[in-house]
Amino acid sequence: MPELSHRFEQTRFSPFWAETVADKPVLPVLSESIDCDLAIIGAGFTGLWSALKARERHPDARIVVLEARHLADAASGRNGGFCAPSISHGVGNALNRWPDEAEKLVRLGRENLDAMEADIATYGIDAEFERTGKLNVARTAWEADGLGVMQSGYANFGIETAILTPSELASHLESPRYPTGLFEANYAYVNPAKLVHGLAQACLSRGVAIFQDSRVTGLQDMGEILSLATDGGEVLARQVVMATNADVPLLSHLRRAIIPVYDYTIMSEPLTDTQLQEIGWQGRHGIADSGNQFHYSRKTADNRILWGGYDAIYHYGSRRDPDLLHRNETYAGLEATFLDTFPSLKDVRFSHAWGGIIDTSARLTFFTGTAYGGRLTYAMGFTGQGVTASRFAALSMLDHLKDLRTERTELRMTQSQPVAFPPEPLRSLGIRWAQADLAREDRTGHRSLMLCAMDKIGIGFGS
Ligand SMILES: Cc1cc2nc3c(=O)[nH]c(=O)nc-3n(C[C@H](O)[C@H](O)[C@H](O)COP(=O)(O)OP(=O)(O)OC[C@H]3O[C@@H](n4cnc5c(N)ncnc54)[C@H](O)[C@@H]3O)c2cc1C
């Protein structure tokens, strides 16, 4: 591993967000056999929204959540907290893959963000929700052209955005790296660990049981019920929601539908007002650049800068290993682009650095489905945009369990499954090839024949 610079001397290599949660409940480990109406596997956003929404629909149901680790240990506690008004990994992805459905997908994405804000308020969850907009910035001429395309694509759906004049840009971000910016007002942020804990608290106080350190190791069909095995006990459930994200899916036919991709973040110490003025970052909007390999950045409540993204690392054989959650090479790369973007912050130290796993699907959006005659439902494949989509996925899964035909379940996006990733070694070779072509496109503005062919058959690789 390469050595890190002096800016990382005091760094804590763990998610900053976890330190902001004051009251962490002590949750039991499952140590007996129990019955329930609904068992939910996984206590990230998807599992917890499922539990809470199931409780709204069924006040008397016995609902149990089984979590392999601890609350907020996985992606839901490690992300950037960007809340997209989208369930389809953006407007462009909806248009490319489901042009006939794009209008509906865009509307549902916006409604979902509004409804999530309303839920957070209704349940009194302090998740530091703020709808402060997003600045999309471009580094090169072709990225600036891309912002123009994005603006007209958004305009087709009545979404207003503004290409900023140089002086307007300077009051959002003054950086030698990014000469062009497009501002979209409808984008929000949360403190993700606080949202996880707030959702869990809302569930607990409404009689949902949550067990941690209780990994489900096997599923068995017992006729009317499904049996979920854990080391400490068994859960006999009438219905099951599987919300296990980037872990190896318990259903073997889903194992090639997603791959684990590692994404990393560094975070500065809190900045002073003067430092923020120097970089022109006056508001509380987030920032994302426009390359295939993109950076994302936002402020925390105490004005640290989170700077993440760019590298999207896949390991041969879809390796999942806690040791891979840190990568000095990526932290050093992020430090370099941070300093390039904010040269006046050269004396700033990094307080935190961490990584997480993204469940990448070949079409970049989640998908849902059922198994065991409709008694189990699953959602996965969020690919780096699951903070808001997880709520929509949870509602879709509950619709599936009731066999309801709703706008959610009727979507081609939720009905269809993504193209499966090929087995190794083809998988690694293909990903390496696609990544090299994506990087070349970022450098030159030219999309390779292979990427164009992948676009045509609806396969993508990203985070
Ligand atoms: C570094 C990083 C940055 C990101 N930034 C953003 C962002 O800014 N905006 C955005 O929209 N998205 C972002 N994402 C993606 C987002 O975090 C995820 O899409 C979202 O958290 C998925 O929620 P989830 O509940 O499905 O998954 P998770 O939070 O991973 O929860 C799944 C849970 O299931 C548990 N589990 C797995 N298998 C079992 C089992 N067999 N038995 C019991 N429990 C099990 C796991 O322990 C885990 O807690 C980011 C992701 C990462 C890693």
| pLDDT tens sequence across 176-218 | 999 999 999 999 999 999 999 999 999 999 999 999 999 999 9
Q: Contact at 8 Å (CB) between 219 and 161?
A: no
Share of the chain above pLDDT 70, in %: 99
Using pLDDT thresholds of 50, 70 and 90, give the confidence band for residue 291.
confident
Q: Which amino acid is at 122?
A: T
SS3 track for 5-69: CHHHCCCECCCHHHHHCCCCCCCCCCCCCEEEEEEEECCCHHHHHHHHHHHHHCCCCCEEEECCC
**358 Cα nearest atom in ligand 1:** 53
Alpha carbons 58 and 127: distance in angstroms, whole number? 25
Does any ligand 1 atom lie closer than 6 A to the CB of residue 230?
Answer: no
Does any ligand 1 atom lie closer than 6 A to the CB of residue 67?
Answer: yes
Distance from the alpha carbon of residue 343 to the mean position of ligand 1, in angstroms: 33
Sequential DSSP letters for 138-187: ESSHHHHHHHHHHHHHHHTTT--EEEPPHHHHHTT---TT--EEEEES--
Q: How does 78-116 read in b/e, with b if 16+ C-beta sit within 10 Å? A: bbbbbbbbbbbbbbbbbbbbbeebbebbbebbbebbebb
Using pLDDT thresholds of 50, 70 and 90, give the confidence band for residue 452.
confident
Alpha carbons 94 and 371: distance in angstroms, whole number? 26
Domains annotated for the chain, with CATH where assigned, are: 131-189+258-360 (3.30.9.10), 426-456 (no CATH)
Choice from 67, 191, 244, 259 to test ligand 1 binding pocket (greatest atom count within 8 A of CB): 244
Distance from the alpha carbon of residue 174 to the mean position of ligand 1, in angstroms: 33
> Which two tokens mark 115?
């409804």
Distance from the alpha carbon of residue 248 to the mean position of ligand 1, in angstroms: 13
Q: Give me the pLDDT at residue 207, please.
A: 98
> Which two tokens mark 412?
């081609």
The arithmetic mean of pLDDT across residues 142-159, rounded, is 94
Q: How does 122-147 read in b/e, with b if 16+ C-beta sit within 10 Å? A: ebebebbbbbebbbbbbbbebbbebb
Does any ligand 1 atom lie closer than 6 A to the CB of residue 226?
Answer: no
Closest residue CA from atom 22 of ligand 1: 386
Per DSSP, 126 falls in state: -
Does any ligand 1 atom lie closer than 6 A to the CB of residue 153?
Answer: no
∠ Cα 57 60 62 (to 5°): 100
Alpha carbons 181 and 186: distance in angstroms, whole number? 15
**296 Cα nearest atom in ligand 1:** 8
Q: Give me the pLDDT at residue 296, please.
A: 97
Using pLDDT thresholds of 50, 70 and 90, give the confidence band for residue 458.
confident
The arithmetic mean of pLDDT across residues 58-70, rounded, is 98
pLDDT(235) > 70: yes
Q: Give me the pLDDT at residue 23, please.
A: 85
Does any ligand 1 atom lie closer than 6 A to the CB of residue 358?
Answer: yes
Distance from the alpha carbon of residue 246 to the mean position of ligand 1, in angstroms: 7
pLDDT(1) > 70: no
Does any ligand 1 atom lie closer than 6 A to the CB of residue 311?
Answer: no
Q: Contact at 8 Å (CB) between 381 and 257?
A: yes
Interval 105-115: pLDDT, tens: 999 999 999 99
Does any ligand 1 atom lie closer than 6 A to the CB of residue 39?
Answer: no
The arithmetic mean of pLDDT across residues 155-173, rounded, is 94
pLDDT(459) > 80: no
pLDDT(364) > 90: yes
Alpha carbons 119 and 128: distance in angstroms, whole number? 13
Q: Which amino acid is at 247?
A: D
Distance from the alpha carbon of residue 382 to the mean position of ligand 1, in angstroms: 9
Does any ligand 1 atom lie closer than 6 A to the CB of residue 238?
Answer: no
State if pTM tops 0.85: yes
Choice from 89, 387, 463 to test ligand 1 binding pocket (greatest atom count within 8 A of CB): 387
Distance from the alpha carbon of residue 67 to the mean position of ligand 1, in angstroms: 12
Sequential DSSP letters for 434-448: HHHHHHHHHHHS---
Q: Which amino acid is at 217?
A: T
Q: Give me the pLDDT at residue 457, please.
A: 74
Element containing residue 103 per DSSP (H, E): helix 102-122
Closest residue CA from atom 4 of ligand 1: 79
Distance from the alpha carbon of residue 6 to the mean position of ligand 1, in angstroms: 31
Closest residue CA from atom 41 of ligand 1: 216
Alpha carbons 142 and 158: distance in angstroms, whole number? 24
Burial of residue 456 (number of CB atoms within 10 Å: 0-12, 13-18, 19+): exposed
Interval 273-284: pLDDT, tens: 999 999 999 999
Output phi, psi for 57, to 5 deg. Answer: -80, -30
